[in-house]
Amino acid sequence: MVLGALTKDRFTLKNPLLSDDTKATLEALSSIGTDVDVRPGGQIRLTCPELKAPRGVIDVRNSGTTIRLMSGIASLLDTPITLTGDASLIRRPMAPLVDALDQLGASCSYIGQSGSPPLRIKGPVTKAEAEIDGGVSSQFISSLLVTCTQKRSATKLRVKGRIASRPYVDITLKMLAQFGARIDEGPAGFDMQGSQKLQGDAYTIPGDYSSAAFMLAAGAVTDGTVTVRQLDAETAQGDEAILGHLRCFGAKVSRTAHTVTVSGGRLVGTDIDVGDTPDLFPVLAVVGAVAEGKTVLSGGVNLKAKESDRIVTTTKFLQDMGARIRPMEDGCEIIGVPKLEGAAVDTRGDHRILMAATVAAMVSGTETVIKDEESFKVSYPGFIRDLHQLGCRVEVRK
């Protein structure tokens, strides 16, 4: 959506996801001069001849990706722009990105708590070099890569340490290249020229492994069979790793060029580093909870800075369901049990906790009540519909 708007020509998105997060992105783009036309048949047309300062505050609701991408875009304009979000989002970290934008010449300030939204940004960014810690969020790096191809002058972006969730940066680099941008990566970071013209008239959105992971894991833990279509075999998505992880647990996984099928089997514990794929942590913990022996999930140092502290929320709901799980600083350790028990689950408004708890409920002996009837709409609005297709009994109570 952002890259399409930055082409400054009419741009068509095919097969788009219209979830709460992507609607927040469309609204943010609309506020800075993008004409958005959601068309019948599953297409979105975007036209943004030039970026304009919004008339009011940009409210991204619960979307961390949106506020981080839009913070970079805001730094291209010479008018102060205020960005905010909901109660969950204003607790999420922004300092590394804001500091880098300051180094590039933007004027940034926090309106509330230092280091978190809401914040005010005034550009334009004109300086030639910035340094950022890569270990907090890949979204900061993605935002800077997009922004620095559009600022007028060249940029050296230096990255300290290992980049968290590196596959998401790889997706950004691949997409920028598809849109005609050139970015050179070296041992110290990234170099890019400014004023790069992004080109393209259409882009087809591929299937999302992050969302598919919940349905595929359901096939593994229930000893059933689940097939998910429109999952490309050739992809930069890091969460494709769910296929290898389920194989390591003992599930049967097969695929074609665009389809993945998972069948249950004898599940055994395994060790998994979730550093590159933190969004898989909650559902992998569910699989580990019913796998024989010990499972260790580690490397998730940034799990505490998601929509909830996912180490805390995941271990809490699984403990309540009878799992033998203990939290670690960067993940958890689990000793599998044959079956879970139903419980009352507090998701803390986190969509991935809701969906993981639903998968756990499929292998529990009694009813599970999840105290959250809608956060799945953030990323997977068809979640309940797809559960019904698989034969799961789900009742939504308002």
Q: For residue 250, give the DSSP letter.
A: T
Tell me the C-alpha distance between 98 and 120, whole Å: 10
How far CA 60 is from CA of 20, 23, 35, 86, 113, in Å, comes to: 9, 9, 18, 8, 17
Angle, helices 351-361 vs 281-289, to 10°: value is 20
Question: Which of 54, 48, 159 is closest to 97 using CA atoms?
Answer: 159
Taking a C-beta distance cutoff of 8 angstroms, is the pair 321, 353 a contact?
no
Amino acid identity, position 75: S
Check if the beta carbon of residue 6 is closer than 8 Å to that of residue 33. Answer: no
- Our answer to whether residue 273 is catalytic in this structure is no
Phi and psi for 260 in degrees, rounded to 5?
-125, 135
Q: Interhelix angle for 241-249 vs 281-289, to 10°?
A: 10
* Catalytic site residue from 59, 279, 330, 350: 279
CA nearest 237: which of 169, 286, 149, 292? Answer: 169
Cα separation, 46 vs 157, in Å, equals 29
CA distance 237 to 160: 23
Rounded Cα–Cα distance for residues 216 and 227 (Å): 7
CA distances 51 to 35, 111, 144, Å, are 11, 24, 17
The amino acid that residue 311 corresponds to is I
Whether the CB-CB separation of 358 and 214 falls below 8 Å is answered with: yes
What is the number of other CB atoms lying within 10 angstroms of the CB of residue 156? 16
Q: How far apart are CA 372 and CA 257, in angstroms?
A: 36
Question: Residue 59: what are its φ and ψ, rounded to 5°?
Answer: -105, 110
Give strand pairing partners of 202: 12
User: Which residues does residue 190 pair with via DSSP β-bridges, in sequence order?
Assistant: 157, 185
- Which positions are catalytic? 279
